Amino acid sequence: MNIRKHAAIAALSIAAAAGSATAEEPTELGIGLILATGPEAAWDATLLRDLEGVVESAPHGLDISYKNINGKWGEDAGDAMELLAKSGRYQIIWAHSSYSDQVKALQEKYPEILFVLVGAGNEGLGGNAYWVYKRAHEPSYLLGVLAGRLTENNVVGVVGQFPSEDVNDQINSFFAGARSVNPEVQRKVAFIESWYDPAKAEQFTNAQIAAGADLTFQMVESFETCEKSSIMCFGNYVDHGETSPDSVVASALISWTEDINWVIGEWYNYAANGTPYDGNTSEKWVPMADGGSALSSFHAYEDKLSAELKEEIATLSAQIASGELAIPVDLSLPASD
């Protein structure tokens, strides 16, 4: 074999090796968060809690840092997103509420950034915009069963935030659970028209109690009101039985861990492998069976509830997890009887 042929084979080998080389894998990730309220609101606090856990677990070996900007809406939210994008330090911008208008104005301008929209009131944009949904209607159904069994006068209340799809589904499931075991349950529904307003939450809770409710599902933070009136209530998003054990029987919990890992995985495939972004245009939510939501423990009520009732809740929980019991998503506007 002559020298020229040797050289040609060597050149081909080098070219093949170069062609098979993969893109350099990223080692760092910055996440910028836009929060409608901030850590004082359970919706936002649960995201920060679960993001801390993901940071610690270091998916794909990533060194993850994040920054949260609180209390931004409208143009202010859009300006905050653009500041994060321009900085070059944040590869994911997580807009933790109804911010699709702001993301729509930015996603083509910053095609390398993965944007996240969360919850109802958004438009599925696709491309580099991913839509995370959170449904807690399944544990809310279980809270309803507890309410239907525990009410003494068959008047049960709910104090919600806004009448939106991911609030309505919980309220409707709660009452469906209550009436599944007690058809005589009468509904009392109120919305404070805010994502976080403790003063209005107290006002509306007092109004429900005055209207006869002896149990309330507190989708808003006002558990002192239940304690002052010596009524039982149920918590939402976080385990309020830990901080208000005298009044909270149980809570409907949410987790963002699966959602965060999904989003990071989509960004990593883009950054490491050149996989194009393919954001979802319809809602994507993680069911109770896969860890998206859960029912809390009973804390101080563990010894106050009957063994039969606790067994009933455990059985229903297992049936939901196995798929034997499917809880419908009812988005209709809840109303008082």
Q: For residue range 79-107, what is the model confidence (pLDDT) as tens digits?
A: 999 999 999 999 999 999 999 999 999 99
Q: What is the mean pLDDT of residues 57-86?
A: 97
Tally the domains of the chain: 2
Residue 282 within a domain: no
pLDDT at 155: 98
Stretch among 72-76, 196-200, 276-280 having the lowest mean pLDDT: 196-200
User: Does 21 have pLDDT greater than 50?
Assistant: no
The range of the structural domain enclosing residue 311 comes to 137-254+292-322
CB atoms within 10 A of CB 52: 12
Give yes or no for a contact between 188 and 213, defined as CB atoms under 8 angstroms apart.
yes
Q: What percent of the chain has pLDDT over 70?
A: 93
Tens of pLDDT along 24-33? 899 999 999 9
Quick one: 221 and 153 in the same domain?
Answer: yes
Scanning 275-329, the segments in alpha helix (DSSP H) are 307-322
Quick one: 129 and 151 in the same domain?
Answer: no
Residue 287 within a domain: no
Quick one: 297 and 149 in the same domain?
Answer: yes
Q: List the strands of the sheet with 215-218, edge to edge.
A: 186-191, 155-160, 215-218, 232-237, 248-254, 293-295
Quick one: 214 and 82 in the same domain?
Answer: no
Quick one: 158 and 179 in the same domain?
Answer: yes
User: Does 20 have pLDDT greater than 80?
Assistant: no
Quick one: 184 and 61 in the same domain?
Answer: no
User: Does 5 have pLDDT greater than 90?
Assistant: no
Quickly state the pLDDT bin for 23 (edges 50, 70, 90).
low
pLDDT at 24: 83
Quick one: 234 and 262 in the same domain?
Answer: no
pLDDT at 196: 86
User: Does 311 have pLDDT greater than 60?
Assistant: yes
3-class secondary structure, 277: coil
User: Does 8 have pLDDT greater than 90?
Assistant: no
- CATH number of the domain at 95, please: 3.40.50.2300
DSSP string of 31-71, one letter each residue: EEEEESS-TTSHHHHHHHHHHHHHHHH-GGG-EEEEEEEES
Tens of pLDDT along 182-239? 999 999 999 999 988 989 999 999 999 999 999 999 999 888 899 999 999 999 999 9
Tens of pLDDT along 137-154? 999 999 999 999 999 999
Quick one: 191 and 60 in the same domain?
Answer: no
Residue 48 within a domain: yes
Residue 73 within a domain: yes
- Residues 6 or more apart from 309 whose CB is under 8 A from it? 146, 149, 150
Q: What value does the mean pLDDT of the chain take?
A: 92
Quick one: 229 and 314 in the same domain?
Answer: yes
pLDDT at 10: 41
Residue 238 within a domain: yes
